[in-house]
């Protein structure tokens, strides 16, 4: 039986669907559930049980005695959560000149391009996105569009709006400087008034690929970060911080952010404090891997490629350490970066995390339930559990045999409606 040969019944106001699958991954458990039952309608999952716990009659359609589909070869898992993406950027474009031209568009044009991506992202299995910021209000507009209850097929989406950085330092293409406000508190308040769902900080620069290191000093002090975090908490907002280089990472940990983004050159003692303080880590392998994979287009020579590979190998070792230590690891790809297309780049990020040495089930959890549990989204998704939204993936290509299987043909159920994702989906503009 192929994925295309199954027909998933449609839900309706008076029609529920009962599936029985060979394997269920609930998004948080360390072991899969075998021979599992799931009942859902358009709003939510109504029942989850194993072979010894069939759904009660009152949750089924009148007179129903058997599942609508019995799929012993299939795996059911939550829809994926992309925890770090820049939806205002077209990640799949590798040409630097074209990328520069793209950014010269008006905010309205950037928003239109982002809207065109939304349905494709869902069809590829990503049901939620934590946008990582832009200065033109694209992410905020998308967040408001989702909340409006529009009929457009789009993932759950929240955004920090413009990231916070210092004038003249890295981040101007996606942020607004602190210097535009009289205090850190006023800066955060300005973001909240603009509609920010959370607060994005840029305390460091980026990796100097030629040197194979972060060569600039951090742009924020620990005290500044702490003040921004305190302000964010006063408005009920989480913070996430772009940080690479051990000195900058040290400052964001001591500043008390909710999650460290990227984290290249992180130390083991820093990972231990992150674990103890419940600070999550979003490692984002994909952008650096793309630099290696397309070194010829980037103009990198053998020495720079060696630097990049060393950075990736060190990052992989840190990921394995973090996992073994119990650090909360969340999956995000930095989609929108050069070569990192939305949705497909995220699927590749999951493959890179697994290749680094993280078990496949742990990677799935990092992209589903662990993300949902730590990052404080406003709706219930990312888990296969009663009361959670009916947004999940059904596939005969088990991610337990390799998370790259998530890029293969599958069904994506979104609010009870089943969408097919074939072997060659439309990825244009991502």
CATH number for 27: 2.30.40.10
Same domain, 87 and 73: no
SS3 392: strand
Query: Helix, strand, or coil here: 115?
Result: helix
In a domain, residue 198? The reply is yes
Chosen domain end from 340, 356, 375: 375
Q: Residue 197: pLDDT above 60?
A: yes
- Mean per-residue pLDDT, 79-106: 95
| Mean pLDDT, residues 89-102 | 93
The answer to whether residue 295 sits within a structural domain is: yes
β-bridge mates for residue 76, sequence order: 24, 394
Domain residue limits at 21: 3-77+383-421
What average pLDDT does this structure show over 148-174?
94
Query: What's the CA dihedral at 121, 366, 27, 122 to 10 degrees?
Result: 0
Question: Given its phi and psi angles, is residue 236 left (phi above 0), alpha (psi -120 to 50 degrees) or beta?
Answer: left
217 and 366: one domain? Answer: yes
Helix (H) or strand (E) run with residue 122 in it: helix 107-123
The three-state DSSP-derived secondary structure of 291-358 is HHHCHHHHCCCHHHHHHHHHHHHHHHHHHHHHHHHCCCECCCCCECECCCCCCHHHHHHHHHHHHHCC
Is the pLDDT higher at 210 or at 195? Answer: 195
Q: What is the CATH classification number for the domain harbouring 244?
A: 3.20.20.140
Question: Do you know the residue count of the chain?
Answer: 430
Question: Looking at the domain assignment, is residue 426 inside a domain?
Answer: no
What is the arithmetic mean of pLDDT over 401-419? Answer: 96
Do 115 and 153 meet the contact criterion of CB atoms below 8 Å apart? no
368 shares a domain with 285 = yes
Residue 174, in any domain of the structure: yes
Q: How far is CA 355 from the centre of its chain?
A: 18
pLDDT at residue 205 in the model: 94
What integer is the mean pLDDT of 294-313?
95
Check whether residue 215 and residue 319 sit in a common domain.
yes
Say if CB 270 and CB 289 are below 8 A apart.
Answer: no
pLDDT value at residue 421: 87
**Is the Cα torsion angle 61, 62, 68, 70 positive or negative in sign?**
positive
Mean pLDDT, the chain, integer: 95
Mean pLDDT of 241-257: 97
430 lies in a domain?
A: no
Any domain includes 428: no
Closest CA to 80 of 395, 430, 424: 395
Q: Mark out the alpha helices in 357-421 (DSSP H runs).
A: 360-366, 369-375
């Amino acid at each position: 039986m192929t994925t295309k040969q199954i027909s998933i019944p449609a839900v309706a106001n008076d029609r529920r669907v009962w599936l029985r699958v060979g394997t269920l991954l609930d998004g948080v458990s360390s072991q899969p559930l075998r021979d599992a039952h799931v009942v859902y309608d358009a709003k939510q999952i109504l029942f989850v049980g194993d072979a010894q716990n069939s759904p009660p009659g009152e949750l089924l359609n009148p007179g129903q005695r058997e599942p609508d589909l019995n799929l012993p070869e299939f795996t059911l898992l939550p829809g994926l959560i992309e925890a770090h993406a820049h939806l205002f950027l077209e990640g799949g474009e590798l040409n630097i000149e074209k990328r520069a031209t793209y950014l010269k568009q008006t905010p309205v044009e950037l928003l239109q391009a982002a809207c065109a991506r939304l349905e494709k992202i869902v069809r590829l299995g990503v049901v939620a996105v934590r946008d990582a910021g832009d200065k033109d209000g694209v992410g905020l507009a998308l967040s408001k569009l989702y909340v409006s209850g529009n009929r457009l097929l789009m993932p759950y989406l929240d955004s920090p709006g413009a990231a916070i950085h210092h004038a003249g330092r890295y981040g101007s293409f996606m942020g607004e400087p602190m210097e535009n406000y009289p205090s850190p508190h006023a800066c955060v308040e300005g973001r909240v008034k603009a509609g920010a769902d959370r607060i994005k900080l840029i305390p460091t620069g980026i990796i100097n690929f030629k040197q194979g290191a972060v060569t600039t000093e951090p742009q924020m002090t620990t005290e500044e970060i702490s003040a921004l975090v305190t302000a964010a908490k006063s408005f009920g907002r989480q913070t996430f911080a772009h940080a690479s280089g051990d000195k900058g990472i040290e400052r964001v940990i001591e500043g008390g952010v909710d999650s460290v983004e990227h984290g290249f050159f992180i130390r083991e003692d820093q990972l231990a404090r992150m674990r103890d303080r419940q600070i999550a880590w979003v490692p984002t392998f994909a952008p650096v891997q793309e630099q290696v994979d397309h070194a010829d287009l980037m103009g990198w020579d053998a020495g720079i490629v060696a630097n990049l590979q060393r950075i990736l190998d060190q990052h992989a070792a840190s990921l394995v350490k973090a996992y073994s230590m119990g650090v909360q690891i969340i999956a995000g790809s930095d989609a929108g970066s050069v070569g990192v297309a939305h949705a497909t780049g995220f699927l590749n990020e999951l493959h890179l995390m697994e290749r680094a040495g993280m078990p496949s089930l742990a990677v799935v959890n990092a992209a589903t339930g662990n993300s949902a549990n730590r990052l404080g989204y406003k709706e219930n998704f990312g888990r296969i559990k009663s009361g959670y939204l009916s947004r999940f993936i059904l596939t005969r290509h088990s991610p337990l045999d390799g998370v790259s299987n998530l890029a293969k043909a599958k069904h994506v159920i979104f609010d009870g409606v089943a969408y097919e994702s074939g072997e060659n989906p439309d990825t244009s503009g991502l």
